[in-house]
Structure 1
């Protein structure tokens, strides 16, 4: 299984998520208080006993005590509490709607059934743009603009510890931003039911010191290195025959546009949208049993001979 971290929900790791965490705990406290009060009142009502009525008084209404109308007071307090919670929620959402400064980095994320295409935008120099999949790297302490799109159905982009949920709607571009206060690996997930593979549509955000991030980005901009061994060359031939119609490997003849870019596949932590650890055996298992691992995915299960499997595995391991 994947080595991805748990989708931890109890502590924020960036300024785009910290206010909403505070809001969430405040709402949990308010709801808990209301539940406790109602439970106490209900228990008191169940335990309370009226004095027995004298003969002939069964149909008489009890006298008006003339006391406080607790129903009106309770309704008023509830209304004020809910209105206060609404105002607090609106103020909090407004506070995280935009980053505190203009983000120097823009990432375009497109949701597919069921994986994520990640395009790093460089408006000043388009030649520096590059594409990866299912793994987002960001520099620590830097706000990042995330442009969100969908290629098929409605998805939702959500990294609980870094940013809130945002819908990805076909034909529409939505904006989100995130920032990590410290290095780490943060799990994200599609939070909108989008089909049978919805639960297997995760990704990772890897926050790195700026120097490490720049080194990673420079490596990602490069094309695949030429293969050096006969077995890897045979594997590249198998890839071109069986996989290149859907996948791209920059620097080669593989230019498929329907599936994840695999130019630097072997450098990623996970595969299959963060479902499996990225090992040679898991890569082959995914190729040969895709429909068992992720039913109804567009990736078909591909039968390989033992020699073709070994050669293909050798080639994929070169995609660093």
Structure 2
């Protein structure tokens, strides 16, 4: 598993929220759903993405924007159009006065908007579950990432456009996979730009020695790695690996491994009912006590406190059309 795959491994790639939004002006939607990551692709017309901080971005057909949560933002026909709808956690949708909009703006299978034939159409995919495995990557992204259509080539947008309104068995799984591939393609294009400020660990993946060591740690975090065994597997000396790894990644190999193990453990605690002891052994600790000690030392709370604090209640009230079922 490489670092990009790590972002997508787990609940982020299962049950992602996908929707086509069709609008006629004037329109403006305030997004306050706290989703960790949201992709927006314009397939017809234009749309402005207006972050609370930073400059508005105009999206045209073929352009893609990625909003990194939980910061709110606005999507509209013009930067100065006041919001007329608010999207909250869990896909809840209402007017500024709290009136529900889900039924009145339901346009069919995974389609929502104020006009069935509106001139503006966007494909939206949101990873709704916070994930610790991808934290290193998410921290490296700006709050709003923009890829103009003429700066990258991706054949997946037409595929998503064709698939998003289908209502067939297993369609949600198909859409999840398309969204994952689209995200990976976008991030590759973003980090490969001449002026990109890719994080150190991402650049290090291209190093023949450190890249191999990183993949060994990421692929098998439960293995009882030492700097010596990692160096032997990478074909270099212990001192040579320790020095080069720290220079390129920004931290020693064992510190990186600890962070990676705890990130995976945090995800497992949040998204599964596995015992703390089972989670500990899965990520390379001898048992619950060892994991708890490392968790408290690095994160300041116990695994159980993390698990309890991360369980969020489902948002009440009406929301957007369920993205994986036919809207009636």
Q: TM-score, normalised by structure 1?
A: 0.26
Q: TM-score, normalised by structure 2?
A: 0.25
Greater RCO, 1 or 2 (C-alpha within 8 Å, sep 6+): 2
